[in-house]
Amino acid sequence: MTSTIGSTVLGYPRIGPNRELKRALERYWASRGSEAELRAVARELRADTWRSLAAAGLDSVPGNTFSFYDHVLDTAVMVDAVPRRFTDLGLNPLDTYFAMARGVASTSPLEMTKWFDTNYHYLVPEIGPSTQFSLADRTPVEQYREAAELGVTTRPVLVGPLTFLLLSKPDDDAPASFLPLDKLGDLLEVYAELLRQLRRAGAEWVQLDEPAFAADRSQDELDALREAYHALGELTDRPNLLVAGYFGNLGDALPVVASSPVEALGVDLVAAPSTVDTLSMCRSLRDKTLVAGLVDGRNIWRTDLDQALTTAATLLGLADEVAVSTSCSLLHVPYDVEVETRLDPRVKSWLAFAAQKVHEVVVLGRALREGRDVVATELAEAREAVADRATAEGVRDDRVHARLASLRPEHTRRGDYAARQRAQQQSLRLPPLPTTTIGSFPQTTDVRKARAALRTGELDPTTYTDRMRSEIERVIRLQERIGLDVLVHGEPERNDMVQYFAEQLTGFAATDHGWVQSYGSRCVRPPILYGDVARPEPITVEWARFAQQLTDKPVKGMLTGPVTILAWSFVRDDQPMADTARQVALAIRDETRDLEAEGIRVVQVDEPALRELLPLRSQRRKAYLDWAVEAFRLATSGVADSTQIHTHLCYSEFGDVIDAIVALDADVTSIEAARSRMEVLDDLNAVGFDRGVGPGVYDIHSPRVPDQAEIADLLRAALRAVPAERLWVNPDCGLKTRAYAEVDAALANMVRATATVRESL
Ligand code: GLN
Ligand code: ZN
């Protein structure tokens, strides 16, 4: 087969330009729509995607990029890795699939976790010695045919067999020595059969995604990679194979794939430009196609096409063909920037969403093949946009730079902890085992409606403020009645903990339609951080002040930390993340000081995403954690000793960041620890953590109300690891998504449990 790849993208969004799939899924789940209706929506979305990608001029159109929920789940179902608890339900295939994704009353779903270092979440397959792989579902073949009938030749995209197993976890029956990778041989047979069927259906190319090799891998895993692609490559009767690795440099895996008998290798030159050097040492690429990921698949900036062409030129001698692609699937960006009518036109001209990125790839492909002249206009436009962005007002704010330049080490240091502790005790006079919450209280329909009405102008700002104030007052009275020690205002005015701040800082833009799939039907609309960040005026102070004057109990001010703001936004690619983080940190620092000046004695700076941005390669982690910690300290060290700084972290496994948690130097740290509450405390003790700590004692992810005895038991267990002076009592996370009835009962139990444990101290 001689067909070439030319220009392509590694994958495409699938939720629908107007979130059609989200709506159809939610209708189906609520029994308001039939399976046939859902399938019809899906079919139409696929057809639109294939047609538009072909029409845009891509030489190779990716196929099988659609999913009803998640592509890793699809792969598990395809190879028949469906745990017994789901087949036992006796549901039809589609409902079995959704049971794996979402659970049913009697059965918990597969675990969900982050797809590498993105904000997309996949479902973790469960594999055990008794898992019997077989080709149970032929969706990739069917969709190949479906596209072919519409006149579009596609290149089916599959999760590679190694990545699939490396992302899986051993099932409950597996012995401790078992690794999912032990089943590679069996799995390869299924992939071999699938490849044969795809070939028979007419597929010329198949893409196998192996991003797992952008992270550190053992020698055994590299050997398994070699074995797998030798086995698949040796098959006769198969399509050409493109093995794509993205989200970083493939490192040692690169020569392994390059020397295996596959036809093409895809690399991410955006996340890891250094891959060019690794490639130039790979002689075995000579007879292969190198698919150069030159257009950022994860961020929303227009590509510097000149620079991309320069990079492409350095690759030309290395491989038989150099094809142009995105760095990874476009799943991580919104569909189309053209539909954004309210975005500042100048900012808009710097952006490329999925549709624009496809166009960029096509332009690059033509420039490589036919010469730059044929796309001279497109290149000039891109050049202009890149230059405009570099010099535009609003991107560079000299005052911000001057302030950054004046920073000294003391700006990231607080006073001695013992002195702080004394000053805080004097100011707050808290009992042992102080009780508090993480910030948000349930967001009622009324609250959401009021926010929406303010946005559309139906509600004037004064009436809006009154509504929010009465909600805050209600939440304060509720907490007083329950008897909590440190109160919160409840965050009714916040749509989202990042977006709320982004809307009030300079340097951020918001989109109307820029939705990106987070998991299943759930989408997020990340703000776009395009310029230097400053805080024109206080953001939260007025709400906090209002809440504090209602009560004698301390009210905790509530802010989002710099790392989390970055993690949940599209960030600039024109300066190091550390610099952007410092700018955001300074804005938060100003806010903490203003809160303090208004009489707020406790300020919580949330960093639930601290671990999310952790680099895939361990070698790069220290540098990241250094700037992340520094940004938090910059944000929180401007206050007096007597002001108590809290932070909240949102994950239960934090071995990788434990030293960083200590280095944050917060006075009190609350952690989501639903699964391994008390181990968390041991881990912290092991590194000498000696600050206040609140391991969540109420799992807010479930509607279940924990009873008093259960919480008291957890507290007693915690007291074995942490002395009473340091232990705080709080739920796992914010209460935003819960109902008042549950929250009221659960917090009351939490406070009663604390009272009984206090008596026995
Ligand atoms: N303060 C936020 C809240 O309570 C924290 C949310 C989070 O940790 N994700 O909602
Ligand atoms: Zn949380």
Distance CA 374, CA 381 (A): 14
Single-letter amino acid code for the residue at 329: S
Q: What is the pLDDT of residue 651?
A: 74
385 and 448 in a single domain? The answer is: no
State which of 648, 701, 730 you would mutate to test the pocket of ligand 1, scoring each by most atoms of that ligand within 8 A of its C-beta: 648
- Examine residue 492 and state whether it is found in any structural domain, yes or no: yes
Dihedral over Cα of 44, 49, 52, 55: its sign = negative
- Examine residue 548 and state whether it is found in any structural domain, yes or no: yes
- Mean pLDDT along residues 635-658: 92
Per-residue pLDDT of 664-697, as tens digits, reads: 999 999 998 765 667 889 889 999 999 999 999 9
Residues in a beta bridge with 63: 156
Q: Which of 622, 628, 624, 677 is nearest to 654 (CA)?
A: 677
567 and 490 in a single domain? The answer is: yes
Q: What is the pLDDT of residue 90?
A: 97
Spell out the SS3 assignment of 560-590: ECHHHHHHCCECCCCCCHHHHHHHHHHHHHH
- The alpha carbon of 259 and the centre of ligand 2 are apart by a number of angstroms equal to 45
Q: What is the pLDDT of residue 703?
A: 83
Position 332 confidence tier, pLDDT thresholds 50, 70, 90: very high
Whether 606 lines ligand 1, by a CB cut-off of 6 Å, is yes
- Examine residue 308 and state whether it is found in any structural domain, yes or no: yes
Enumerate long-range contacts of 682-690, CB under 8 Å, 24 or more apart: 682/721, 683/654, 683/655, 683/658, 684/658, 685/721, 685/722, 686/658, 687/658, 687/659, 687/662, 688/662, 689/661, 689/662, 690/417, 690/726
- Examine residue 224 and state whether it is found in any structural domain, yes or no: yes
- What CATH number has the domain bearing residue 39? 3.20.20.210
Residues annotated within the binding site for 5-methyltetrahydropteroyltri-L-glutamate are 19-22, 114, 522-523, 568, 612
Q: Dump the DSSP string for 687-749.
A: TT--SEEEE--S-TTSS----HHHHHHHHHHHHHHS-TTTB-B--SS--TTS-HHHHHHHHHH
336 and 433 in a single domain? The answer is: no
State which of 437, 440, 646 you would mutate to test the pocket of ligand 1, scoring each by most atoms of that ligand within 8 A of its C-beta: 440
Q: What is the pLDDT of residue 659?
A: 95
Domain count across the chain: 2
- Examine residue 4 and state whether it is found in any structural domain, yes or no: no
- Examine residue 405 and state whether it is found in any structural domain, yes or no: no
Residue 30 has pLDDT above 60, yes or no: yes
The active-site residue, picked from 71, 332, 489, 701, is 701
Q: What is the dihedral of CA 679, 685, 691, 694, to 10 degrees?
A: 10
488 and 615 in a single domain? The answer is: yes
Per-residue pLDDT of 728-742, as tens digits, reads: 999 999 999 899 999
Residue 1 has pLDDT above 50, yes or no: no
429 and 359 in a single domain? The answer is: no
Q: If you average pLDDT over every residue of the chain, what do you get?
A: 96
- The alpha carbon of 489 and the centre of ligand 1 are apart by a number of angstroms equal to 13
Per-residue pLDDT of 487-528, as tens digits, reads: 999 999 999 999 999 999 999 999 999 999 999 999 999 999
Whether 492 lines ligand 1, by a CB cut-off of 6 Å, is no
Per-residue pLDDT of 36-94, as tens digits, reads: 999 999 999 999 999 999 999 999 999 999 999 999 999 999 999 999 999 999 999 99
**In percent, how much of the chain has pLDDT > 70?**
99
- The alpha carbon of 379 and the centre of ligand 1 are apart by a number of angstroms equal to 44
- Mean pLDDT along residues 613-639: 97
Enter the ipTM: 0.99
- What letter would DSSP give residue 553? S
Spell out the SS3 assignment of 137-189: CCHHHHHHHHHHHCCCCEEEEEECHHHHHHHCEECCCCCCCCCHHHHHHHHHH
Q: Encoding tokens for residue 444?
A: 């009622």
> Which of the ligands is closest to the CA of residue 442?
1
Counting from 1 in the atom list of ligand 1, the atom nearest the Cα of 734 is 4
- Examine residue 413 and state whether it is found in any structural domain, yes or no: no
Position 580 confidence tier, pLDDT thresholds 50, 70, 90: very high
- Mean pLDDT along residues 690-714: 92
322 and 430 in a single domain? The answer is: no
- Mean pLDDT along residues 376-382: 97
114 and 222 in a single domain? The answer is: yes
- What letter would DSSP give residue 471? H
476 and 372 in a single domain? The answer is: no
146 and 37 in a single domain? The answer is: yes
Residue 126 has pLDDT above 80, yes or no: yes
38 and 185 in a single domain? The answer is: yes
- Mean pLDDT along residues 338-349: 96
Q: What is the pLDDT of residue 653?
A: 74
Our answer to whether residue 701 is catalytic in this structure is yes
- Examine residue 6 and state whether it is found in any structural domain, yes or no: no
Q: Which of residues 348, 374, 391 is at a domain's end?
A: 391
State which of 484, 487, 493, 497 you would mutate to test the pocket of ligand 1, scoring each by most atoms of that ligand within 8 A of its C-beta: 497
427 and 384 in a single domain? The answer is: no
CB 591 within 8 A of CB 540: yes
Q: In what order do the strands lie in the sheet with 602-606?
A: 556-560, 602-606, 644-649, 668-671, 692-695
Report CA-CA distances (Å) from 133 to 180, 250, 712: 12, 28, 45
> Which of the ligands is closest to the CA of residue 735?
1
Protein residue with its CA nearest to atom 3 in ligand 1: 734
Domain containing residue 688: 419-759
CB 325 within 8 A of CB 312: no
Position 2 confidence tier, pLDDT thresholds 50, 70, 90: low
- Mean pLDDT along residues 584-598: 98
Q: What is the pLDDT of residue 674?
A: 60
Whether 649 lines ligand 1, by a CB cut-off of 6 Å, is no
208 and 338 in a single domain? The answer is: yes
Residue 140 neighbours by CB distance under 10 Å: 24
